[in-house]
Amino acid sequence: MVDQRSIRVALLYLLLLLLFESTFEQQVQQQRLSSGVEFTALFELRSSLGLRSRDWPRKVHPCSSWNGIRCENGSVIGINISGFRRTRVGKQNPQFAVNSLVNFTHLMSFNASRFMLPGSIPDWFGQRLSTLQVLDLRSCNVTGVLPSSMGNLTNLTSLYLSDNRLTGQIPSTLRQLLSLLVLDLSKNSLTGSIPSSFGSLRNLTSLDISSNSLRGSIPPGLGALSKLQTLNLSVNGLTSSIPSQLGDLDSLVDLDLSSNGLSGSVPQDLRKLRNLQRMVLGNNGLSGSLPVNLFPTPSQLHVVVLRNNRFIGNLPQVLWSIPGLNLLDISDNNFTGELPTALDNNAIAAVLDMSRNKFYGGLTTVLRRFSSINLSGNYFEGRVPDYMLDNASLTSNCLQNVSNQRTLIECVSFYTEKGLSFDNFGRPNATVPAAAESGNNNRRVIILAAVLGGAGLIVLLLLLLLLVLLCVRRRNTANHRGIGVEPVPTGGTPPSPGLAINFSSLGDLFTYQQLLQATGDFSDANLIKHGHSGDLFRGVLEDGLPVVIKRIDLQSIKKEAYLLELDFFSKVSHTRVVTLLGHCLEKEDEKLLVYKYMPNGDLSSSLYRKNNLEDDSLQSLDWITRLKIAIGVAEGLSFLHHECTPPLVHRDIQASSILLDDKFEVRLGSLSEVCAQESDGHQNRISRLLRLPQSSEQGSSGSSTALCSYDVYCFGKVLLGLVTGKLDMSASSGTQMKEWLEQTLPCISIYDKELVTKILDPSLLVDEDLLEEVWAMAIVARSCLNPKASRRPPMRYILKALENPLRVVREDNSSSARLRATSSRGSWNAALFGSWRQSLSDVTIIPAASTTKAEGGSSLKQPVIPEGSAIRAEGGSSFKHSGTTGSRGSAQKDGGDNSSSWRRYSKEIFPEPL
């Protein structure tokens, strides 16, 4: 019984199972297309697109067995041919041939991405495919314009058309696609502007119109897209600024506005984007500083790209402590500031690119969290910490012991502008060559390298020549010693001073406002003069102290000059140097230096002054004052040349650089040209040989301006100006000055006191005693003006001579006295007269003059005509022959010989014994 029942149950079960099977079969049957129209349409599509049997096999039912066909209730609702390949025949003439789509009345999704559909989207798409929810034609090679009928596909939730060749404008009818969640029109050639009506697409979560040719501005209406998570408008031609309404995009995760022409600053309101993970604003013209609270905490940010804009100012500190940040690219801006020191170091793999900004200060532990670091092109200083990655890029900074860093002058000037002091690459301050110097050296190195590289043979020859020259020179030197000439100090000089400016020794710090007030807003009435290193204004400080303020406009004046001056004042202070009371460096382009006021102005303006208000007659400085001034200048220069190590060269000695206080005590001004004396080593001689022809660095006197002997030459002109009253000549150069020297110098002779009265300033009243002093000063002036730099006396001897003028003339106005002086080598007047004698020994080179040697002590009866090769090599210029004054017999003797201007030149510069 039980068995029978169980068999019946089993049978029933079997029956049920069969019944179920048949209903299943029936259901499969229902999946078949209810209408033959769609069946036919599928085959038409298959053939018009040239699809392969592998994907859409002929003998099976499409709904069940064709790839990418989805059916529902006997209708095709989805067609996905993404990535399909065409048959060989189909490939021959690919077309946008999808006409049969109109017969799928329930089609919700058509995805043909990566399937070539060359041709344009037909107009009927919008009218006939109204059931479509997803249209994906990415990378289909679709061309033409987007038909405005697309706006009728109101059930569309996703429209992907990226990476095609669509042209024309974006139809504004797309605003009707209210169900749209994703709109991707990227990577096409769309033009025109973003329709402002897009704000109506309230359900949109992703809007990507990147990489087109859109113009115009970002419509503020986009701010209404409160569900938007992705906004990508990058790589277009969008202009104007970022609308602050974008801050209302509450859901935004990914914002990419990069590579447009956006300008203006980043709106504060973007701080409201609390869900933002990517902020990409690179490659625009954005400017200003970032709002301090731009990045809220906690922040979801992973990526911040602000590269290649024109941002300035500091980075919001919080950026450094966002835990998830793994790309920070702020390169190519003008961000500045120092790295924060102690912050949480969530060491995660992250990329930091802050290259080409203006960050400065030391490297800090904040860098530990990054696995890739580019800091190049900033102004970081100090040592590189141990934890710095080997592959970190650190070039073009101011770091210690790292190759390819900025130059000292760049670093110093940057830090100076910030009002900070530079660590000088960690080197002791005194061993770094001065800027002017290093520039020269670099140029020399380049010249040398070029010559060496280009023509080694020529160098070899030159070296040989040099060797010969050096031998000759050495022999000459020996000769000079032999006749008792004190050699001008040459040879290796100690290293030049560095440019590490110590601001504490630069006087007070003034605010710009204070100095505006002091000078009446730099009014013209207070302008003293336009100097070559800046405009000088008189001013009165709040406490009533009169000052002189130099305004340096860095747009027109080289930064180096003012830095050199600051450097000078930070190291040198002397009673013969004008006092720097303070400075104001707060302005980027305008630097102000404040000096003590000099009641008597400069020498050029005080040599002659109006007697009093009523009387127009001029009163000139008396001789005692002139001598006092000459001694004062000599003291100042002697300090620079002999008491500074290395010796400093003023390079701008002229009447207007000589400032006078109320007691006519000298204070040297115009210190922006001061530099350390060039070393005079062998390399220097080589480079001088190579420096063809004479460069502008050469002074008018035929020597480098970076040598003390150049100052001596300029001082000679000032002395001559004091004697003759023609001080303006000390500032001039060129033919005018040459003519003047040509006329004046012949009237200075160690053998004839009276001759000097011919050139004496007529306004000077001098008695016989004073005339000797005048004569002495004239003689000193003439020896300073020796065209041969090495024969000019050193400043300390000039000072001695001016302090003892009578010894100049009384001890050395007879030949026997000269011999005495000769024998006492090392005495100041030996050095002074060495140049005179030197000229005579030069003279002995030529046979004609050899009969009238000076050495013998016999006075020369005939004018001498030096023709030494040394003179020809050194003299940078020749004087025109006037034939009026001086040189007496020689004028006649030489009168007809116009070809030999060198001879005249030498003869007139050197004194002729009577």
Name the residues that contact ligand NAG, by CB under 6 A.
37, 40-41, 44, 99-100, 102-103, 116, 118, 126-127, 130-131, 141, 148-149, 151-152, 155, 173, 178-179, 203, 310, 332-334, 421, 424, 428-429, 500, 502
Q: Which is nearer to ligand NAG, 173 or 657 (CB)?
A: 173
Beta pairing partners, 591:
552
Q: Which of 316, 229, 204, 214 is nearest to 262 (CA)?
A: 214
Answer for the pair 160, 82: CB distance below 8 angstroms, yes or no.
no
C-alpha span between 496 and 431 (Å, rounded): 7
C-alpha span between 88 and 815 (Å, rounded): 116
Q: Point out the residue whose Cβ comes nearest to ligand NAG.
A: 502
Tokens 């004054």 belong to: 885
Q: Which is nearer to ligand NAG, 428 or 857 (CB)?
A: 428
Structure tokens at 548: 């002189």
Answer for the pair 243, 267: CB distance below 8 angstroms, yes or no.
yes
Q: Which is nearer to ligand NAG, 103 or 277 (CB)?
A: 103
Structure tokens at 241: 């600024």
Q: How far is the CB of 245 from ligand NAG (least distance, A)?
A: 21
Q: Which is nearer to ligand NAG, 121 or 488 (CB)?
A: 121
What ranges make up the beta strands (E) of 632-755? Answer: 648-649, 658-660, 666-668, 675-676
Q: How far is the CB of 316 from ligand NAG (least distance, A)?
A: 19
Q: Is the peptide bond before 646 cis (omega within 30 degrees of 0)?
A: yes
C-alpha span between 583 and 567 (Å, rounded): 13
Q: Which is nearer to ligand NAG, 179 or 441 (CB)?
A: 179
Q: Is the peptide bond before 298 cis (omega within 30 degrees of 0)?
A: yes
Q: Which is nearer to ligand NAG, 99 or 526 (CB)?
A: 99
Answer for the pair 141, 111: CB distance below 8 angstroms, yes or no.
no
Beta pairing partners, 398:
381
Distance of CA 202 to the CA centre of its chain: 50
Q: How far is the CB of 187 from ligand NAG (least distance, A)?
A: 12
Q: Which is nearer to ligand NAG, 195 or 669 (CB)?
A: 195
Q: Which is nearer to ligand NAG, 92 or 898 (CB)?
A: 92
Q: Which is nearer to ligand NAG, 67 or 179 (CB)?
A: 179
Q: Which of 873, 868, 497, 838 is nearest to 685 (CA)?
A: 873
Structure tokens at 874: 């050194």
C-alpha span between 149 and 393 (Å, rounded): 54
Q: What is the dihedral of CA 751, 753, 755, 760, to 10 degrees?
A: 140
Q: How far is the CB of 243 from ligand NAG (least distance, A)?
A: 23
Packing angle, helices 768-784 and 708-724, rounded to 10: 150
Packing angle, helices 795-803 and 828-843, rounded to 10: 110
Residues 6+ apart with CB under 8 A from 892: none
Residues with a known catalytic role: 652
Q: Which is nearer to ligand NAG, 41 or 134 (CB)?
A: 41
DSSP state of 396: S
Q: How far is the CB of 362 from ligand NAG (least distance, A)?
A: 14
Q: How far is the CB of 205 from ligand NAG (least distance, A)?
A: 10
DSSP one-letter string for 639-669: IIIIISSSPEE----SGGGEEE-TT--EEE-
Coil vs helix vs strand at 636: helix
Q: How far is the CB of 435 from ligand NAG (least distance, A)?
A: 15
Q: How far is the CB of 570 from ligand NAG (least distance, A)?
A: 7
Distance of CA 379 to the CA centre of its chain: 12
C-alpha span between 723 and 777 (Å, rounded): 7
Coil vs helix vs strand at 580: strand
Coil vs helix vs strand at 80: strand
Q: How far is the CB of 558 from ligand NAG (least distance, A)?
A: 16
